[in-house]
């Protein structure tokens, strides 16, 4: 079996998963970070007009290149991505008590910032849904090597799907280039992984894909805390 046919099989599997979600798990939503993987899923969902909502967490600390993706998506697909923003009072409290960039001070301060700017808005976005979708891939980091395509998200009481779990970085870029999918300009500036501006940096050739995210922390800490309940990491059961 050659490389192209393996890619085609992965693509067909991903389309089948998305169609299954759209028919069996409504209402379902896709959480887009506006990075390359998420543009693959956005393209697959919108071109097929699948019944899956798309939203993004507008943390208030995103790069201008990431925010520009919203206009690029509107221009390409005539669709507005729904934005969920943090509670303003919670952001103001955090900044007043700890400072605007306190996430550099400790893992706890970083997780509290992520809780306010990402976790709480995510919980709002997922309310009342049967399933949610991410663009996470196993090859992205040490914390994702066991990522399953379908997981039982106990914390959110719904199914979580990662339809690109077995895709390689080459697969992602092959899809984007062969389908003229718009992508975040940061990828051409050495950013394989896209997050908030102060917590994301470009990486050098040969560095781990996630090395540019929260680079001052240990690799085991490098997740958004999007599955944290009452301050504890909640494990998600693979299906
Ligand atoms: S990634 Fe950084 S700026 Fe963004 S919510 Fe987390 S700690 Fe805050």
Q: Whose alpha carbon is nearest atom 6 of ligand 1? A: 114
Any alpha helices (H) in 99-188, and if so which ranges?
A: 107-114, 120-126, 169-178
- Is 118 within 8 Å of 59 (Cβ atoms)? yes
* pLDDT, average across residues 209-235: 60
Task: Pick the more confident residue, 161 or 224.
Answer: 161
Q: Per-residue pLDDT averaged across 145-161, rounded? A: 94
Q: Tell me the average pLDDT across 138-148.
A: 82
Residues with CB under 6 A from ligand 1: 59, 61, 103, 110, 113-114, 117-118, 195-196, 198-199
Residue found under tokens 């991903």? 14
Distance of alpha carbon 128 from alpha carbon 179, whole angstroms = 33
Q: Of 15-19, 153-157, 217-221, give the lowest mean pLDDT range.
A: 217-221
Using the mean position of ligand 1's atoms as its centre, give its distance from the Cα of residue 47 in Å. 32
- Per-residue pLDDT, 1: 46
pLDDT tens digit sequence for 98-141:
999 999 999 999 999 999 999 999 999 999 999 999 999 998 87
Rounded Cα distance between 186 and 237, Å, is 33
Give the mutation target among 86, 87, 113, 212 for probing the ligand 1 site: most ligand atoms within 8 A of CB: 113
Which residue(s) pair with 229 in the sheet?
Answer: 232
**104 alpha carbon, distance to own chain's centre:** 22
Q: Which atom of ligand 1 is nearest the CA belonging to 103?
A: 7
Cα 228 to ligand 1 centroid, rounded to whole Å:
15
Cα 113 to averaged position of ligand 1 atoms, centre (Å): 6
Q: Check residue 141 and report its DSSP letter.
A: -
pLDDT of residue 205: 80
Look up the pTM and report it. Answer: 0.88
Q: Are 83 and 121 in contact (CB under 8 A)?
A: no
Q: Residue 113: what pLDDT? A: 97
Q: How high is the pLDDT of residue 230? A: 39
Q: Which ligand 1 atom minimizes the distance to the CA of 197?
A: 3
Catalytic residue, candidates 211, 224, 226, 236? 224
User: Catalytic site residue 224?
Assistant: yes
The pLDDT value given to residue 229: 39
Q: pLDDT value at position 18?
A: 98
Mean pLDDT (whole number) for 187-199: 91
Supply the residue whose CA is at minimum distance from atom 4 of ligand 1.
196
Q: Could you count the other beta carbons within 10 Å of the beta carbon of residue 180?
A: 9
What six digits make up the tokens of 51? 């019944």
Dist. CA 186–CA 32, nearest whole Å: 16
- pLDDT tens digits along 32-47: 999 999 999 999 999 9
Q: Is 196 a known ligand-binding residue?
A: yes
**Residue range 54-111, pLDDT digits in tens:** 999 999 999 999 999 999 999 999 999 999 999 999 999 999 999 999 999 999 999 9
pLDDT recorded at residue 222: 62
Cα 227 to Cα 230: distance, rounded to the nearest angstrom:
10
Percent of the chain with pLDDT over 70: 89
pLDDT band at 238, cuts 50/70/90? low
């Amino acid at each position: 079996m050659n490389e192209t046919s393996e890619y085609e099989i992965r693509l067909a599997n991903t389309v089948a998963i998305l169609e299954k979600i759209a028919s069996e798990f409504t209402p379902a939503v896709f959480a887009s970070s506006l990075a390359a993987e998420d543009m693959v899923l956005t393209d697959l969902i919108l071109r097929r007009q699948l019944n899956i909502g798309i939203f993004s967490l507008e943390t208030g600390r995103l790069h201008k290149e990431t925010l520009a993706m919203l206009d690029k998506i509107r221009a390409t697909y005539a669709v507005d991505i729904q934005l969920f923003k943090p509670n303003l009072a919670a952001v103001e409290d955090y900044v007043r008590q700890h400072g605007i960039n306190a996430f550099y001070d400790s893992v706890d301060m970083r997780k509290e910032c992520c809780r306010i700017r990402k976790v709480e808005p995510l919980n709002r976005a997922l309310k009342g849904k049967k399933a949610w979708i991410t663009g996470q891939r196993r090859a992205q980091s040490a914390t994702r090597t066991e990522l399953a395509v379908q997981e039982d998200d106990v914390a959110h009481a719904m199914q979580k799907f990662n339809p690109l779990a077995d895709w390689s970085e080459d697969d992602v870029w092959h899809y984007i280039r062969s389908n003229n999918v718009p992508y975040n300009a940061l990828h051409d500036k050495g950013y394989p992984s896209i997050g908030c501006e102060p917590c994301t940096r470009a990486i050098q050739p040969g560095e781990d894909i996630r090395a540019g995210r929260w680079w001052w922390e240990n690799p085991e800490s490098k997740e958004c805390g999007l599955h944290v309940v009452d301050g504890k990491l909640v494990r998600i059961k693979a299906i």
